[in-house]
Amino acid sequence: MRLPYYPGCTLKTTAQNFEESALASARALGVELVELPRWNCCGTVHALAKDDVMHYLAPIRNLIRVEEMAESGLVDEKRVVTLCAMCYNTLKRANAVVKEDQEKMQKVREIMERENPYGGSVQVVHLLQVLRDLDWSKVADRVERPLKGLRVAPYYGCLLLRPRGFGIDDVDNPQVMERLLEALGAEVVNIPFKTKCCGAYHTVQMKEVVAELSHRILDQASSAGADMVATACPLCEYNLGPRQEEVKKLFRGFAPLPVVYFTQLMALAFGLEEATGFEQNDPDPRPALRARGLLKEES
Amino acid sequence: MKRMSGYPEYMQESLRLVEKTRPERIGKTFPAMTAEEKERILRDWHPDYKEESKRPLRIGPCKGQVMPHEVADILEAHPAITPDEIDLTDIAYDLDVLVIGAGGAGLSAALLAHENGVERDRILMVQKLRLGDANSKMSQGGIQAADAPDDSPTLHYLDVIGGGHFANDPDLVEALVKEGPDVIKWHEELGVIYDKNPDGTMQLAPGGGTCRRRMHSCKDYTGLEITRVLVDEFLNREIPYVEFTCAVELLMDDKGQVAGSVLYDLDSDEYLIARAKSTVLATGGFGRLHIQGFETTNHYGATGDGIALAYHVGARLRDLDSTQFHPTGAAYPEQIVGQLCTEKLRGRGAQPVNKYGELFVYPLETRDVEASAIIRECYERENGVVTPTGMRGVWLDTPLIDIINGEGTIEREFAAMFRNFKKFDIDIREEPMLVFPTLHYQNGGVAINTRSETSIPGLYAAGEVAGGVHGKNRLMGNSQLDLYVFGRRAGRFAAERAKKISLGKLTLSHLDRYERWLAEAGIETDRRAPILLPEYRGKRTLEHQLKLL
Amino acid sequence: MMDDEVEMVTIYVMGKRHRVPAGLTIMKAMEYAGHQFRRGAGCRGGFCGACATIYRTKGSYKLQGALACQKIVEDGMYIAQIPFSPAEKKTYNIEELRPDAGVFLEYYPEIARCLSCNTCTKACPQDIMVMDYVQAALRGDVEEAAKLSFDCIGCGLCAVRCPAEIVPYNIGQLARRLYSRHIVGPTEHVLKRVREIEEGRFDEEIEELKTLDREALQERYETRERRL
């Protein structure tokens, strides 16, 4: 029996006895180990491949910009605010990793070469955290048009909460969006799937996976009587919103449910209707808002 | 001194004087010269007026025309090839329109030939170097066009013809000034980014010899921006082109028409025949001939090929006695000596001052007068600064630009200048530039009419290779304009002609005729033209060279 | 070499050792050493990008980019020119395009592979923030991409260095044309003047100037009002 044999570098250097004994024993058993005529390192020790420094260049560069911005006096603090859950998660994790791992920080500096060194002084936060720190009463005071009677199901998805320790709130039962919606005068519809995954990037190649996951979340919200779902992530918004076209194909009788960003509801409640941009949402949330008497325009 | 200086220690005292007089000079200027003063200073100090630098041409239809020795040398030279080396029956390209040269004029001609009904596969552009590599790309300061409300083509006409010492062809000047605004419109349609004011109007600067602010700019990369847009558009149209291929002679037919060109591939050293019903010469000027030994602002390929090719077929030339020396070429550091320091610097407030920090000339005289004044300041009055290599120069006080127009102006509007000096530790926001006139432009060239036709049927010329538009002195920003006005015309009329005419039998007999002219004039020489590329190899190398391959 | 007066340095042009005077640009040093450029030389003034060059200096593993006409030789410098960067320029009708991120993704989809590693920026001899303009294009900020890329001379060094195999200069060119054509648009006073000229508004004035003799014309020129 002839079997292809991949030796690896060590077997040719410090573990020659390992190879020699193996080949000999195998041959004794009638097994011929035939070395790959052309091979390279299995990949385990390539410094540039093994470490993941490349992953950190983009996020850390942005954090360097934050430090530069703060130093030039353009802003009051180095707490950088994000909106997109994906960005929040990426920046936050990268920040934590390089702050802890000085060696990695050094490598990032070396590869960047021309940038100012990152001082590690930035804190990455999400707008929801900033709102929470402001105090909900302050938010409530600013409301001009309470979202009275509007039933909203908050949906967090993964990236605002996971992994543990990196989230903006309790992993299992987050409450920050709930408190915001209450402050805006809306009625919170609690759904158990509010922290379940929407299917994320499967949306590119496996639409049906996303449709199925989205359906479960949306169905729960509808069943609980929600007028719409509020989210903080553009990818969740896409998978729960526009992807309802796929949901419709798979689930007969599915009734579309609008999905909006929490900020759109906040702008509406603050009387900033011109800044809401509901016309970009799909499905259109305006009929539901109109039904609750929350839109100025009559048409 | 606190600040860093890119200049040697011995220049520091002069620099301190410049700095000292700077506050007094803000808002001040030097009186402009009268007509008589100008005439005198040109006669006494302009390199063009040195009798011994020129001679009358001894052969051909323009025999007797006076021109610099270096130019006469390439005209009184053997053609680069002899007819018996070339097989005229082996036609590589059969064309309606052949465009020679891929700078602003050539690109415009090719685009317009295409727009005027020539199928793209019946057009060919050949270029000695890369597509778009030309002096057109190096223009920094701007392009003139009389489109401001307080300006008019009439005023532009007066500026052009007065600046050219009334030697210009009035019809060409009229075409130039009247088509200016349309050229700008065309550029914007194609996507050229011009500098604008916050209200959306053009940001316009004055230039030497202009009576209005008429200079449109794209920072100090005006030529680069326009050329790269035209190249991009040219590539979008998928018009055929060949790079690193020179025109070494024009072809004629037995009806006396120009009928294309013998091309020479710089990679394979082979020749190729391009037969064409119309041929557009857009080969640029002769800066790399280093007239009177001057350094030049010009592109590597600016070896005056076009005038040689045109003269070989007997085309009329004009105004070649007149050469433009740009008043402000870099005089220091050595590595960039001769490179252009754009006139826009003076347009935005920089003043030429002598080693004592004194004004000595109105900063926006026409180029010939400004250059003469700088030469006089250095060589008659001995008020120049001498560089470590013995060159002389005067200061161009650039820090004034930021003082007058606000901090950040230099970095924003003079990105190229700022960058190119910064490489040598000279921060032109803090320190002046040391400048001296540099060889810049071929004022004359192949005579054309308003259809860009030369005196030989089938041959068109546009851009720097052509003469007549600028008379004896060109104003800043008018060569950029000239490229597009006459390049577009060349393309349009070349296309029209190609639809109407038919070619006879191809011939190179004009080269034999040229040899006869040389022989009759008793000229014995081993010079050949066109020379195609300048020779900058080390002396030692050339002395030891054998041509084995 | 027997030159005692000038300080000489050693350079390696594509591996071959030459002694050249210190202070020369790479281009002039190569000429001194006997090269006559066909490719790899252009404007010789930092405006055309024909002389893109890569080099390493003594004791450094860093591969650096420069323009041969602008960079001074250093002792122990290894030099190779890259006068051409292989890349397809997509063809389009600028008039029909919309100035948004979609255009870039349609013509140059590889732009989405940008890792923000900034290698392009480090390679740029013009010190342009190349990565930043690629990123701007990727997010549809055509104006930012146009402005950041404005000083690009198209030398191609960014394109040969990009690990994602993006051709940044093509992106910048597209962004700039889109910006001018579709975001800035035409200039009102230019269009107005073009119409006036077409209507023949200035014909008589210029015709009259053309009839003047030299002296009268010169008088007109000398006395024209200057408003600068």
B neighbour chains, 3+ CB pairs within 8 Å? C
Question: Which chain C residues in 104-123 lie under 8 Å from chain B, judged by CB atoms?
Answer: none
Residue C228: inside a domain: no
What CATH number is attached to the domain comprising C45?
3.10.20.740
Instruction: Tell me the average pLDDT across B251-273.
Output: 97
Question: What's the total number of domains in chain A?
Answer: 3
Other Cβ atoms less than 10 A from the Cβ of A248: the count is: 15
Is there a single domain that holds both residue A146 and residue A286? yes
A61 vs C121: CB contact, 8 Å cut-off?
no
Residues 6+ apart with CB under 8 A from C180: B188, B191, B192, B193, B194, C146
Token output for C97: 């395009």
Residue A284: inside a domain: yes
3-state DSSP assignment of residue B201: coil
Task: Tell me if B351 sits within 8 A of B405, measured CB to CB.
Answer: no
Is there a single domain that holds both residue C77 and residue C101? no
Å between B255 CA and nearest CA of chain C: 36
> What kind and span of H or E run contains B437?
strand B433-442
- Answer yes or no: same fold for B9-30+329-439 and B83-322+443-507: no
3-state DSSP assignment of residue B98: strand
Give the per-residue pLDDT at A298.
Answer: 53
Rounded to whole angstroms, the Cα distance separating B288 from B329 reads 15
Is there a single domain that holds both residue A76 and residue A165? no
Residue C24: inside a domain: yes
Residue reference for tokens 């919200």: A221
Report which residue type is found at B228: R
Is there a single domain that holds both residue A285 and residue A141? yes
Please check whether residue C122 touches A, CB under 8 A: yes
Containing domain of residue A7, as a range? 2-35
Class of B9-30+329-439 in CATH:
alpha beta
Of B318, B326, B392, B489, which residue is the catalytic one? B326
> Is residue B346 among the annotated active site residues?
yes
Residue B408, CA distances (Å) to B200, B413, C31 in order: 20, 8, 38
Predicted confidence (pLDDT) at residue A45 exceeds the cutoff of 60: no
pLDDT category of residue B187 using cuts at 50, 70 and 90? very high
Residue C56, CA distances (Å) to A110, B546, C32, C79 in order: 18, 32, 20, 7
What DSSP string runs through A159-219? Answer: TTT-STTSSSS-SSS--HHHHHHHHTTPEE---GGGGS---TTHHHH-HHHHHHHHHHHHH
A57 vs C115: CB contact, 8 Å cut-off?
yes
Rounded to whole angstroms, the Cα distance separating B176 from A187 reads 73
Nearest chain C residue (CA) to B216: C190
Nearest chain B residue (CA) to C192: B147
Under DSSP, the state recorded for C182 is I
pLDDT category of residue A242 using cuts at 50, 70 and 90? very high
A-B interface (Cβ pairs under 8 Å ≥ 3): no
> What kind and span of H or E run contains B347?
helix B344-347
Give the per-residue pLDDT at A50.
Answer: 57
Other Cβ atoms less than 10 A from the Cβ of B533: the count is: 19
Report which residue type is found at B87: D
Give the per-residue pLDDT at B1.
Answer: 41
Give the per-residue pLDDT at A205.
Answer: 87
Residue A297: inside a domain: no
pLDDT category of residue B2 using cuts at 50, 70 and 90? very low
Top residue of C62, C113, C118, C124 to mutate, by most chain A CBs within 10 Å, is C118
Nearest chain C residue (CA) to B38: C222
- Supply the pTM of this predicted model: 0.90
Residue C86: inside a domain: no
Residue A249, CA distances (Å) to A202, A228, A283 in order: 17, 21, 15
Which residues of chain C make contact with B132, given a CB cutoff of 8 A?
A: 48
C neighbour chains, 3+ CB pairs within 8 Å? A, B
Residue C35: inside a domain: yes
C151 vs B152: CB contact, 8 Å cut-off?
no
pLDDT category of residue C152 using cuts at 50, 70 and 90? very high
What CATH number is attached to the domain comprising C157?
1.10.1060.10
Give me the residue spans of the domains in chain B. Answer: 9-30+329-439, 83-322+443-507
Å between C143 CA and nearest CA of chain B: 11
Is there a single domain that holds both residue C119 and residue C100? yes
Please check whether residue C112 touches A, CB under 8 A: no
> Is residue B290 among the annotated active site residues?
no
ipTM score: 0.96
Instruction: Tell me the average pLDDT across B69-87.
Output: 97
Å between A57 CA and nearest CA of chain C: 6
pLDDT tens-place string over residues B476-504:
999 999 999 999 999 999 999 999 999 99
In chain B, pLDDT over 90 holds for what percent of residues?
95
pLDDT category of residue C2 using cuts at 50, 70 and 90? very low
Is there a single domain that holds both residue C180 and residue C195? no
Please check whether residue A48 touches C, CB under 8 A: no
What CATH number is attached to the domain comprising A184?
3.40.50.11810
C-B interface (Cβ pairs under 8 Å ≥ 3): yes
Is there a single domain that holds both residue A149 and residue A245? yes
Is there a single domain that holds both residue A176 and residue A114? no
Q: Compute CA B412 distance to the chain's CA centroid, rounded to the nearest angstrom.
A: 25
Residue C151: inside a domain: yes
Containing domain of residue C120, as a range? 94-184
Residue A218: inside a domain: yes
Is there a single domain that holds both residue A140 and residue A262? yes
Class of B83-322+443-507 in CATH:
alpha beta
**Radius of gyration for chain A, computed over Cα atoms and rounded to the nearest angstrom:** 26
Which residues of chain B make contact with C26, given a CB cutoff of 8 A?
A: none
Candidates C115, C116, C122; nearest CB to A113: C122
Top residue of C113, C114, C115, C117 to mutate, by most chain A CBs within 10 Å, is C117
Task: Tell me if B320 sits within 8 A of B442, measured CB to CB.
Answer: yes
B193 vs C150: CB contact, 8 Å cut-off?
yes
Number of cross-chain residue pairs from A and C with Cβ atoms under 8 Å apart: 18
Residue A299: inside a domain: no
pLDDT category of residue A12 using cuts at 50, 70 and 90? confident
Give the per-residue pLDDT at A1.
Answer: 86
> What kind and span of H or E run contains B216?
strand B215-216
Residue C110: inside a domain: yes
Is there a single domain that holds both residue C99 and residue C179? yes
Q: What is the maximal distance between C-alpha atoms in chain B?
A: 75
B299 vs C193: CB contact, 8 Å cut-off?
no
Give the per-residue pLDDT at C146.
Answer: 98
A114 vs C116: CB contact, 8 Å cut-off?
no
Handedness of CA B298, B300, B303, B306 (dihedral sign): negative
pLDDT tens-place string over residues B436-459:
999 999 999 999 999 999 999 999
A-C interface (Cβ pairs under 8 Å ≥ 3): yes
Question: What's the total number of domains in chain C?
Answer: 3
Give the per-residue pLDDT at B296.
Answer: 94
Which residues of chain C make contact with B236, given a CB cutoff of 8 A?
A: 91-94
Task: Tell me if C169 sits within 8 A of C137, measured CB to CB.
Answer: no
Give the per-residue pLDDT at B127.
Answer: 97
Residues 6+ apart with CB under 8 A from B544: none
Task: Tell me if B92 sits within 8 A of B231, measured CB to CB.
Answer: no
CA angle A89, A94, A95 (to 5 degrees): 100
Residue B522 phi/psi, 5-degree rounding, is 70, 30
Is there a single domain that holds both residue A111 and residue A152? no
Is there a single domain that holds both residue C120 and residue C66? no
Which residues of chain B make contact with C210, given a CB cutoff of 8 A?
A: 170-171, 174
Give the per-residue pLDDT at A11.
Answer: 82
Rounded to whole angstroms, the Cα distance separating A247 from A211 reads 5
Give the per-residue pLDDT at B4.
Answer: 65
Residue C1: inside a domain: no
Predicted confidence (pLDDT) at residue A55 exceeds the cutoff of 90: no
Please check whether residue B468 touches C, CB under 8 A: no
Is there a single domain that holds both residue C114 and residue C196? no
A57 vs C121: CB contact, 8 Å cut-off?
no
**Can you name the residues that pair with B276 across neighbouring β-strands?**
B95
A54 vs C115: CB contact, 8 Å cut-off?
yes
Nearest chain C residue (CA) to B235: C91
In chain B, pLDDT over 70 holds for what percent of residues?
99
Residue C89: inside a domain: no
Candidates C34, C179, C202; nearest CB to B178: C202
Is there a single domain that holds both residue C171 and residue C193? no
Rounded to whole angstroms, the Cα distance separating B535 from B265 reads 19
pLDDT category of residue B542 using cuts at 50, 70 and 90? confident
Which residues of chain B make contact with C127, given a CB cutoff of 8 A?
A: 419
pLDDT tens-place string over residues A130-139:
999 999 999 9
**Can you name the residues that pair with C10 across neighbouring β-strands?**
C19
Is there a single domain that holds both residue A91 and residue A147? no
Give the per-residue pLDDT at A8.
Answer: 83
What DSSP string runs through B7-54? Answer: S-GGGHHHHHHHHHHHHHHTT--PPPPPHHHHHHHHHHH-GGG-GGGE
Residues 6+ apart with CB under 8 A from B374: B327, B328, B352, B361, B394, B435, B436, B437
Helix axes B478-500, B104-115, angle to 10 degrees: 40
Residue A45: inside a domain: no
